[in-house]
């Protein structure tokens, strides 16, 4: 967990604190993670007194809302960190979809193409109609809190997730303030995946709810091209947990959903389909898909995906969450070092690419809190046996 927080925040911490700041931040994060991991039983007991955890969760949400209200206008104008056109891309994309036009023919106020996939644009439309697509950051935060509480039935565990996802992660705070949707994008991919995995392993299975969650997962996967690696990882998880037919059936639902959303816009004008071109541009020196750098990074991602699909890495229900996040982090790291190798220099602007690690934060956080919760259950079981 400490490694995940450090890597995802590398760009932001290095940008403002330099190498010394990054080292200090990493050590502090590591210490905090170790304390929570080793002393969770005591922390859990302390937080269980009264309504400490619900109150602290409310305070965290309130603080994030206050930061957004106070700083978003200035941050969006570029006064803090140069601003971001991520929210503008979703806004323009939503306007285009509502007017039945191709969003990938348009540009943001910075003159950059619209890069989010159709899934991200569709999910942002309700918030565009409410006046600001950045409101979705708080909607999905609340859904995440409710889902994690329902899953663990423990406010203390939910609080720890909020702390690791939002409080100690500078990248998350920056994205909340600037209205960037990357963390939120990771959350609304994580949520239908968790629902699907929970329903799949529950007996008897509710086929209707499984189908709906698989469709929702497909919509969320179509939000960014990097989420496509979720499909083979999900296939492997279902295959090792059940059988080939189940794996093929349920991944086909999500895959068909992705194709139904992406293909019409791609076939309308392949040359302007920026979700693919943007990914290539992030890796190499241009937006051409077939260049040495893009082939190399894609090959690393495919090999990593193949490895985590092996049975030995799919032994638990949380394996899929860790496996997907690991593939993303390795792909992002490979991208940064590939660009640095091409330019024979690594700059702060290259390290900002680690900001895309925000997609993985909810996945790593979930794996961590599942681990400490499992340790707590083991200790409780041992205590009951002694009694």
For 32-80, the pLDDT digits (tens) are 889 999 999 999 999 998 899 999 999 999 999 999 999 988 877 666 5
Residue 239 has pLDDT above 80, yes or no: yes
pLDDT at 378: 44
Residue 163 has pLDDT above 60, yes or no: yes
pLDDT at 293: 74
Q: Can you read off the two tokens belonging to residue 237?
A: 């998880």
Residue 5 has pLDDT above 90, yes or no: no
Give the model confidence (pLDDT) of 248-290 as tens digits: 999 999 999 999 999 999 998 888 888 887 766 666 555 566 6
The predicted model gives 204-211 an average pLDDT of: 94
Residue 382 has pLDDT above 80, yes or no: no
Residue 152 has pLDDT above 90, yes or no: yes
- Mean model confidence pLDDT for the chain: 87
pTM of the entire predicted model: 0.90
pLDDT at 65: 96
Q: Which domain holds residue 77?
A: 2-386
pLDDT at 377: 52
Domain count, the chain: 1
The predicted model gives 230-236 an average pLDDT of: 96
Residue 350 has pLDDT above 90, yes or no: no
Give the model confidence (pLDDT) of 288-346 as tens digits: 666 777 888 889 999 999 999 999 898 888 999 999 999 999 998 888 888 777 666 66
């Amino acid at each position: 967990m400490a490694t995940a927080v450090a890597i995802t925040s590398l760009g932001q911490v290095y940008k403002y604190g330099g190498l010394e700041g990054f080292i200090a931040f990493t050590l502090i994060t590591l210490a905090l993670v170790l304390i929570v991991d080793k002393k969770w039983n005591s922390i859990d007991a302390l937080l269980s007194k009264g309504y400490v955890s619900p109150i602290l969760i409310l305070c965290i949400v309130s603080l994030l809302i206050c930061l957004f209200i106070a700083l978003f206008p200035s941050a969006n104008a570029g006064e803090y960190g140069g601003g971001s056109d991520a929210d503008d891309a979703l806004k323009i994309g939503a306007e285009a979809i509502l007017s039945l036009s191709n969003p990938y023919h348009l540009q943001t106020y910075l003159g950059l193409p619209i890069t989010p996939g159709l899934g991200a644009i569709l999910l942002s439309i309700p918030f565009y109609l409410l006046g600001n697509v950045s409101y979705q950051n708080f909607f999905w935060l609340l859904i995440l809190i409710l889902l994690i509480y329902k899953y663990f039935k423990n406010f203390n565990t939910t609080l720890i997730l909020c702390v690791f996802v939002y409080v100690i992660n500078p990248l998350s705070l920056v994205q909340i303030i600037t209205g960037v949707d990357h963390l939120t994008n990771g959350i609304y991919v994580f949520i239908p995946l968790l629902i699907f995995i929970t329903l799949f392993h529950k007996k008897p299975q509710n086929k209707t709810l499984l189908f709906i969650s698989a469709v929702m997962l497909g919509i969320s996967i179509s939000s960014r091209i990097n989420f496509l690696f979720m499909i083979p990882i999900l296939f492997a998880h279902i295959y090792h947990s059940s059988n080939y037919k189940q794996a093929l059936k349920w991944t086909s639902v999500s895959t068909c959903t992705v194709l139904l959303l992406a293909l019409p816009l791609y076939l309308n004008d392949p040359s302007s389909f920026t979700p693919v071109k943007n990914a290539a541009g992030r890796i190499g020196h241009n937006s051409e898909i077939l260049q040495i750098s893009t082939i190399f990074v894609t090959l690393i991602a495919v090999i990593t995906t193949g490895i985590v699909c092996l049975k030995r890495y799919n032994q638990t229900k949380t394996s899929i969450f860790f496996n997907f996040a690991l593939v993303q982090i390795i792909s992002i790291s490979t991208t940064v070092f590939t660009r640095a190798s091409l330019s024979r220099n690594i700059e702060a602007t290259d390290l900002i690419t680690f900001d895309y690690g925000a997609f993985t934060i909810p996945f790593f956080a979930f794996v961590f809190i599942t681990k400490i919760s499992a340790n707590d259950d083991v200790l409780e079981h041992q205590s009951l046996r002694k009694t």
